[in-house]
Amino acid sequence: MDKIARIDMGAAGGPKVTVGDLGNYVGLGGRAMTSLVVATEVHPLAHPLGAENKLVISPGMLSGTTGSMTGRLSVGCKSPLTGTIKESNAGGQAAQVLARLGYAAVILEGKPEGDDLYKIVINKDGIKVIVDNSLKLMDNYPLVAKLREENGDKVAYITIGSAGERKLLAASIACTDPELRPTRHCGRGGVGAVMGAKRVKAIIIDDAGMKMRPPKDPDAYRDANRKFVEGLRKHPVTGEGLPAFGTNVMTNVLNEAGGYPTRNFKTGQFEGSASLSGETQAALEIERGGSATHGCHRGCVIQCSGIYNDKDGNYLTKQPEYETVWSHGGHCGISSLDTIAALDYLDDNIGVDTIEMGVTVGVAMEAGLAAFGDDAAAIRLVEEVQKGTPLGRILGSGAAVTGKVFGVERVPIVKDQALPAYDPRAVQGIGVTYAASTQGADHTMGYAIATNILKIGGDVDPLKPEGQVELSRNLQIATAAIDSTGMCLFIAFAIMDQPETFQALLDLLSSFHGSTMTGDDFVALGKKVLSAERDFNVRGGFNKHHDRLPRFFYAEPVAPHNLTFLVKDEEIDEFFNW
């Protein structure tokens, strides 16, 4: 990947494409690329939906190679949801295809006048920006079907649904999976609204005629990849739990631990959890002729996704992930997998983040717009978003906006982004991650569940404040580096427990780039990314007082442990002092 494409959507006379070398961004990919570009080139006080913001699309450092697990795509910008810097990543085919075309980043800049809608075609011959108003207000599934008729099945698609076009703050960006379904989403932070503000509806990426990216040392790369895959396959999480039951294997685990937020974080256990569990879900998928094991991109050896069919055996959606099952399930008092699958399909089709949307529905239920446990009402609320009604626009703008509009006191957000599926009063380490993250509440920034609950990489008591800041800090540094490689974050389970698997990852990076990457270099990369993100936020007016959970987590004990969040503010304020 030796070039960056800049597409000025607001150029005089129409969008203008410029392709140049990497300049100061040599050696970067994924989150490192998106965050460094945004931190360097976007004014921190820019309006997220204005011309000054940029949408940076970047495959990882190892994407487009024969390496396993290398297919994550990062998208970065200033977030319209949080006002902070944002990186959101997804699987699917887009990262591999874009990398093989040689692009380390595609950057959407400026903002066009008028109401024309554009699609972008990227192939070995270059980049074309084409007006296509026939795509207006199409949602992702029919949109991709239409694009496939025109462009075929040997390409990758990046699209937004009607939510992104309407610039709703919960809007996601969809990437197609190997079957060309728009199921893999850069979900968090409203990145789809930024793409919509640039008036870009779809990006079609065709790598016909291109080869895999070659490593500098092919033999060493092949050997490192073999060792890396062996490590993933022998770890109980990446080799057994995730392939068999998907990410939803965590439902029973968190419910048992008392950290499963129920009915808008009123309690830490849900009486209907067994009917929502990964074990139940996998059995149902197999019974209906779907699949409990599926890779979101080629080269995935963990295979933590699946195919969820309806009761008649027809495809309904990809396997709803743990966060989706929780947000539309226990959080809303709903215990039907079929209802959750229907909501997952709606979210993917409209193009909204399933976490933000599910939490928002729960906040709406708290406001009295529906009763907790009302399946039909939950579906109707999400359909309002699809219709673009005034209520739908409120809900599609996320939990923070919905809470303000309807006067709800208990709104589980940090920096205006909804909390994911772990109660910080029962899992104190994840509370630090929510609070200190540069991007609002996000479990993927530093997955303290690994050590607090699963006892991977050590054992830090989830119910005590001691050691939680250090745990979250170390995890956030490692995560920022992993997000830059193009690797799936789930590799962290194996590399935290198996030094030889971590070394294999370092060897992959070293042999591919023809350099030597040490563990210290890996840590330095993570710190570089986090420091750039933190600096952007500080220049944008964020300070230590924004690194806090909502007050109810400090004031309301949660059953069954009857604890509040115990980590002191002063400790969290030391998070970035490394």
As a whole number of angstroms, the distance between CA 20 and CA 256 comes to: 53
CA of residue 23 relative to chain centroid, distance? 28
Backbone angles phi, psi at 108, to 5 degrees: -90, 120
Q: In this structure, is residue 459 part of a structural domain?
A: no
Comparing C-alpha atoms, which of 252, 351, 210, 232 is closest to residue 303?
A: 232
Give the model's confidence band at 137: pLDDT under 50 very low, under 70 low, under 90 confident, else very high: very high
Q: Same domain, yes or no, for 272 and 418? A: yes
Identify whether the C-beta of residue 184 lies closer than 8 Å to the C-beta of residue 177: yes
In the predicted model, is pLDDT for residue 303 greater than 90?
no
- From 394, 423, 452, the end of a domain falls on 423
Assigned domain for 547 exists:
no
Backbone angles phi, psi at 19, to 5 degrees: -115, 125
SS3 of residue 327 by DSSP: helix
Domain end, chosen from 395, 423, 451, is at 423
Q: Maximum CA pair distance of the chain? A: 63
What is the SS3 assignment for 68? coil
Q: Closest Cα partner for 280 from 247, 249, 312?
A: 249
Same-domain check for residues 11 and 126: yes
pLDDT of amino acid 491: 95
Residue type, 481: A
For residue 490, is it left (φ>0), alpha (ψ between -120 and 50) or beta? alpha
Q: Which of 299, 345, 287, 314 is nearest to 140 (CA)?
A: 345
Are 168 and 249 found together in one domain?
Answer: no
What pLDDT is stored for residue 405 in this prediction? Answer: 98
Structure confidence at residue 371 (pLDDT): 98
Residue 327 lies in a domain: yes
CATH for 42:
3.60.9.10
In a domain, 391, yes or no: yes
167 φψ region: left (φ > 0), alpha (ψ -120 to 50), beta (else): left
User: Do 89 and 480 meet the contact criterion of CB atoms below 8 Å apart?
Assistant: no
Whether 97 maps to a domain, the answer reads: yes
**H or E element in which residue 185 lies:** strand 184-186
For 319, what's the count of Cα atoms within 13 Å in the CB-facing half-sphere? 35
195 in the same domain as 77: yes
Residues 299 and 397 placed together within one structural domain of the fold: yes
Residue 295 is predicted with a pLDDT of 87
Residues 8, 151 within the same domain: yes
Q: Are residues 393 and 260 in the same domain?
A: yes
Residues 87, 157 share a domain: yes
Tell whether 200 and 250 lie within a shared domain. Answer: no
Is the confidence at residue 156, as pLDDT, over 90?
yes
Q: Quick one: which H or E segment has residue 226?
A: helix 218-234
Residue pLDDT, tens place only, 76-105? 999 999 999 999 999 999 999 999 999 999
Run of H or E residues at 384: helix 375-387
pLDDT in tens, 440-456: 999 999 999 999 999 99
Mean pLDDT value across residues 264-273: 97
Q: Which amino acid is at 77?
A: C
Residues 152 and 258 in one domain: no
What three-state secondary structure class fits 2? coil
pLDDT at 426: 98
Q: What is the mean pLDDT of residues 564-576?
A: 97
Which pTM value belongs to this model? Answer: 0.97
The answer to whether residue 1 scores a pLDDT higher than 90 is no
Q: What is the pLDDT of residues 38-78, one digit of tens each?
A: 999 999 999 999 999 999 999 999 999 999 999 999 999 99
Which residues form the domain of 189?
3-205
Domain count along the chain: 2
522 assigned to some structural domain: no
Q: Is the pLDDT of residue 213 over 90?
A: yes
Instruction: Say yes or no: 169 and 307 in one domain.
Output: no
With 0-12 / 13-18 / 19 or more C-beta atoms within 10 angstroms meaning exposed / middle / buried, residue 571 is: middle
Give percent of the chain above pLDDT 90: 98
Q: Which of 149, 183, 205 is the last residue of a domain?
A: 205
Residue 298 is predicted with a pLDDT of 80
What average pLDDT does range 132-152 have in this prediction?
97
pLDDT grade for 482, boundaries at 50, 70 and 90? very high
Give residue for tokens 């030094």.
Answer: 499
Rounded to whole angstroms, the Cα distance separating 81 from 87 reads: 12
| pLDDT tens track for 344-379 | 999 999 999 999 999 999 999 999 999 999 999 999
Neighbours of 464 (CB within 10 A): 14
Residue 284 has pLDDT above 90, yes or no: yes
**Could you tell me if residue 32 is inside a domain?**
yes
Residue 63 lies in a domain: yes
CATH number at residue 316: 1.10.569.10
The band of 299, judged by pLDDT with boundaries at 50, 70 and 90, is confident
Claim to verify: residue 415 and residue 296 sit in the same structural domain? yes
- CA-CA distance, 98 to 116, in Å (whole number)? 25
